[in-house]
Amino acid sequence: MIYLFTALRIEAEPWLKEPGWKPVESRFPSYEKDNVLLTITGTGPLSAAAAVSSILTAHDPHPEDVLIQCGIAAGVRNAEIGCVYRIHKVTDFNSHRDYYPDDLPQDGLPEASLISASRIYHPDSITDAELEPFLFSPTEEPVLFDMEAAGVMDAAAAFLGPHQITCMKIVSDTGTAISKEEASRFSLILQENVDQRINEIRKRPPIPLIPKPDCSGLSRQLHCSLTMERQLSQLLYYCELAGIDWKSKIRMYEATGRLPAADRNEGKQILEELRHDLLG
């Protein structure tokens, strides 16, 4: 399944105007076609997080599933209006927490970072001093601004690994209001790029399966809870996709007495150490 999230109906309309989309029973407006589930979250991080949590809880994503969060965004620095960017870093404006969507295959789109807040970006409402901490970078890469991506990333982290999440944004303005006609035009351009991304995802080779004894055996050694087991599964799938030799690392942990863990608390610590050792 490909889970597609937009904040506004006008962003979703290029898809919904096409035949074949069927409404899906949900707390949020949702529509399904050809194994794509499109959900309109509403604006703001809380609405976005609630929608993602509701949809993913109801559908229990599989390791091969992908989430795409897309929509229009404001350009803060070096962003070209009408250009679609692949977001490689999302920063929460309030907490300063960083998220890194990292769907593995590259799509050729220019990359940008994204500031995500609970209020609309406007030069008169958000000062340069407030933005300055987010603009420090050794490069002059484009920086965008939206209201939903941080909420999506935070909620999705409980269900999906970073390699299962893509964020795509089209720059519509630099902090000024746009007309409905302009929003529709930008949304159509975005749809063309997202559909291309979806087609690329569908052409992927099957994800390498982790032998069940390997995953379940390691889960027992770590005394995994359901959440820990999901995180472990995501980590191992990512390693398989990226060609990282996780099995030799596990053998080293066993040889040095780090595995099996004494209890779940120690298992949590070891799982975090393992994630750091494998991903750097």
Residues 145-153, mean pLDDT to the nearest whole number: 97
Match 């050792």 to its residue by tokens. 277
Cα separation, 225 vs 228, whole angstroms: 5
- Estimate the share of the chain in helix, then strand, then coil, as percent rounded to the nearest 5: 40, 20, 35
pTM of the model: 0.78
DSSP string, 15-30: HHTSTT-EEE-SSS-E
Cα separation, 214 vs 240, whole angstroms: 13
Q: Which amino acid is at 118?
A: S
User: What pLDDT was estimated at residue 86?
Assistant: 94
Structural contact between residues 119 and 256, judged by C-beta atoms closer than 8 angstroms: no
User: What pLDDT was estimated at residue 134?
Assistant: 81
Residues 195-205, mean pLDDT to the nearest whole number: 88
Match 């404006």 to its residue by tokens. 93
Cα separation, 144 vs 207, whole angstroms: 32
Element (H or E) spanning 116, and its range? strand 111-116
User: What pLDDT was estimated at residue 209?
Assistant: 60
Domain 2-202 in this protein, CATH class: alpha beta
Strands 36-40 and 98-99: unpaired
Q: Which of 191, 82, 103, 85 is nearest to 142 (CA)?
A: 85
Residues 107-128, mean pLDDT to the nearest whole number: 87
What is the band of 63 on the pLDDT scale with cuts at 50, 70, 90? Answer: confident
Least confident of 69-78, 85-94, 123-132, 186-195: 123-132
What is the band of 229 on the pLDDT scale with cuts at 50, 70, 90? Answer: confident
Structural contact between residues 159 and 51, judged by C-beta atoms closer than 8 angstroms: no
Mean pLDDT, the chain, integer: 90
Other CB atoms within a 10 A radius of the CB of residue 97 amount to 13
Cα separation, 232 vs 83, whole angstroms: 37
Query: pLDDT tens across 250-272, in order?
Result: 999 999 999 999 999 999 999 98
User: What pLDDT was estimated at residue 12?
Assistant: 98
User: What pLDDT was estimated at residue 42?
Assistant: 97
User: What pLDDT was estimated at residue 265?
Assistant: 92
- How distant is the alpha carbon of residue 188 from its chain centre? 21
Residues paired with residue 116 on neighbouring β-strands, in sequence order = 92, 146
Residues 136-159, mean pLDDT to the nearest whole number: 90
Give me the residue spans of the domains in the chain: 2-202, 212-279
User: What pLDDT was estimated at residue 15?
Assistant: 98
Cα separation, 265 vs 269, whole angstroms: 7
Other CB atoms within a 10 A radius of the CB of residue 158 amount to 13
Residues 175-198, mean pLDDT to the nearest whole number: 96
59 against 133, higher pLDDT = 59
Residues 186-193, mean pLDDT to the nearest whole number: 98
Match 């920086």 to its residue by tokens. 143
